[in-house]
Structure 1
Amino acid sequence: MGHGNQSHRDIAAGVITISDTRSKETDKGGRLVIDYLEEMDITVDAAHYQLVKDDVSSISAAVDQLLEQNVDAVITTGGTGIAPRDVTIEAAGRFFDKALEGFGEIFRMLSYTEDIGSAGILSRAAAGVSGKTVIFILPGSTGAVKLAMEKLIVPELNHVVQELNK
């Protein structure tokens, strides 16, 4: 695939799917994130892949656990809309030391032009930094995951990790 050179160190990534209904077998979004990471030669250890329910304490605990294991990146899918059960931003966003507003802005712009049109205003996809870890909070749909991974995360992840470890 050729996403940058191999002089950078191995990146450790964690993936969390937030859903009340999916199981690891039916988790298309999380699986897709892992597939994209594997194409970048980033292996997600089994211990770094979790499925949690749509509640703030479960999501926070899962993010906290990955941060304590010093992963370079945490990517969540699901729970970014405006329905009452959509609390991923509230749960995972509390860990941000610095918000990466550009991620959400560009993601919504791309969603608007390439995918879902004006429904893009309902997406609260976000990213930020916690210590030396970048956290990407993606919607659960495979279309959204594909868009975020292909257009934003795959092209920039090595760069982001490099900047955080200067």
Structure 2
Amino acid sequence: MINVAILTVSDSRVMKTDSSGDLIAQLVTEEGLRVSDREIVKDDIVDIQAAYLQMEQAAPDIIITTGGTGVAKRDVTIQALTPLLRKTIPGFGEMFRQLSFDEIGTRALASQALAGFNQRWQLTYCLPGSQNACQTALQRLIIPEYQHLLFESSNQRKDDHHHAH
């Protein structure tokens, strides 16, 4: 069973009003994955890092964050999480912005959405806060490709383990 942790970054949302978190949970559950953890954290670099690292320690296969990926002053998710990723997957962000551009035009350029692997080779996706964006990312990019990426990362994990001894 593949476990997914969902982290919503928002100053205003609570579980009851976290529509993007709800949508992500629904889509991954429909795909047959299990939501193992779900949190909401404020738009604060240290708070985001602390919440993310706690999720990382709980060892899900995938961590999906939603919110804080734009260019506004309060948008700090990417700044917070980039240092915690050991390898990024540039194609994800490029393709996501391309798909978004087709949907919302040049506003897509402000999205810093990204994907990568953290220190424990867990697959991480940082998505915008909008439901539409989350739906596009999951249906068009994440769900079609996560199995292949997890397969790649399991090889990396074995490799790390091998080199550690």
- TM-score of the pair, normalised by structure 1: 0.90
Q: Report the residue type matching 1:125 in the other structure.
A: A
Q: Which has the higher helix share?
A: 2
Q: Report the residue type matching 1:129 in the other structure.
A: F
In 1, Cα distance between the equivalents of 2:8 and 2:21?
6
Q: Report the residue type matching 2:4 in the other structure.
A: A
Equivalent residue for 1:18, pick from 6, 9, 16: 9
1:62 lines up with 2:51 in the alignment = yes
Q: What percentage of aligned pairs have identical amino acids? A: 40
Q: Report the residue type matching 2:69 in the other structure.
A: T
Q: CA deviation at 1:157?
A: 1.2
Q: CA deviation at 1:159?
A: 1.6
Q: CA deviation at 1:62?
A: 1.0
In 2, Cα distance between the equivalents of 1:120 and 1:89?
16
In 2, Cα distance between the equivalents of 1:95 and 1:11?
22
Paired residue secondary structure (2:69)? coil
Equivalent residue for 2:128, pick from 139, 148, 158: 139
Structure 2: where are the runs of 5+ without partners? 156-165
Paired residue secondary structure (1:97)? strand
Structure 1: where are the runs of 5+ without partners? 1-9
Moved over 2 A (4+): none
In 2, Cα distance between the equivalents of 1:158 and 1:28?
26
In 1, Cα distance between the equivalents of 2:153 and 2:4?
14
- TM-score of the pair, normalised by structure 2: 0.91
> CA RMSD for the aligned pairs?
0.8
Partner of 1:98: 87
Partner of 2:27: 36
Paired residue secondary structure (1:82)? coil
Q: How many residues align?
A: 154
